[in-house]
């Protein structure tokens, strides 16, 4: 069984905002064994990575990234030298996350909030929900 993880780095998000990617970038990956926190410990020169969500899965990383690329914009690690070839960096559209949350609330017949504030945990859940469909 492999472990699927979604991680975020404040330093990476600040850098991405500076280079025009937007501040909502996340790392999605899969490891066969070990701790996901160690897998992203010093990824792309940023040491402030936090693992937001982990799930057990039978998929491999190539399949996960292929599925994710169909729905989300993947950042090309060869275009940005700062990424140092790290695969699985995803640029997330916050309006798409908000829409997914609102649709889920409507489907469950729950009241919708007047102001919806998307948190990193909501984005991690959104990304994994897209992968496992």
pLDDT in the model for residue 13: 95
Q: Report the Cα–Cα distance between both ends of the chain, in Å, rounded.
A: 18
Percent of the chain at pLDDT exceeding 90: 68
Where does the pLDDT of residue 131 fall: very low under 50, low under 70, confident under 90, or very high at 90 and above? confident
Number of neighbours of residue 107 by Cβ within 10 angstroms: 8
13-70 tens-digit pLDDT:
999 999 999 999 999 999 998 899 998 998 988 999 999 999 999 988 999 999 999 9
Number of neighbours of residue 83 by Cβ within 10 angstroms: 21
Q: Tell me the whole-structure pTM to 2 decimals.
A: 0.90
pLDDT in the model for residue 133: 67
Calculate the average pLDDT of the chain: 91
**Per residue, what are the HEC states of the chain?**
CEEEEEEEEHHHHHHHHHHCCCCCEEEEEEECCCCHHHHCCCHHHCCCEEEEEEEEECCCHHHHHHHHHHHCEECCCCCCHHHCCCCCEEECCHHHHHHHHHHHHHHCCCCCCCCCCCCHHHHHHHHHHHHCC
């Amino acid at each position: 069984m492999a472990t699927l993880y979604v991680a975020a780095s404040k330093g990476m998000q600040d850098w991405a905002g500076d280079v025009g990617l937007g501040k909502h970038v996340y790392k999605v990956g899969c490891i066969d064994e070990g701790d996901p926190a160690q897998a992203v410990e010093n990824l792309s020169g940023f040491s402030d990575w936090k693992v937001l969500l982990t799930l057990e899965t039978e998929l491999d990383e190539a399949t996960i990234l292929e599925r994710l690329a169909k729905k989300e914009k993947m950042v090309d690690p060869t275009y940005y030298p700062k990424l140092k070839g790290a695969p699985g960096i995803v640029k997330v559209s916050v309006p798409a996350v908000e829409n997914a949350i609102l649709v889920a609330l409507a489907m469950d017949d729950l009241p919708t909030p007047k102001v919806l504030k998307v948190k990193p945990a909501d984005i991690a859940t959104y990304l994994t929900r897209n992968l496992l469909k």
